[in-house]
Amino acid sequence: MPIDPYAALNAMLRAEVTRFAPPVRKAEPTAPPKTPAPSVEDEGDPQRTAAGGSAA
């Protein structure tokens, strides 16, 4: 079976790139972003009311 020169070159280049590339850092599991309390969100929104009634 003949060797494909482009596949061989690609394999050699990939080997060199992985050899000189810095090690891959694994992502650390982070806590989900903290959301402000619902009461803080509702203070700035004039359409919502605490009782759920009509704002008009």
Say what the pLDDT of residue 17 is. Answer: 92
Q: Are 55 and 48 in contact (CB under 8 A)?
A: yes
pTM above 0.75, yes or no: no
The pLDDT value recorded for residue 43 is 53
More confident: 32 or 3? 3
As a whole number of angstroms, the distance between CA 53 and CA 56 comes to 9
| Per-residue pLDDT tens over the stretch 21-37 | 888 888 777 766 666 65
Percent of the chain's residues with pLDDT above 70? 52
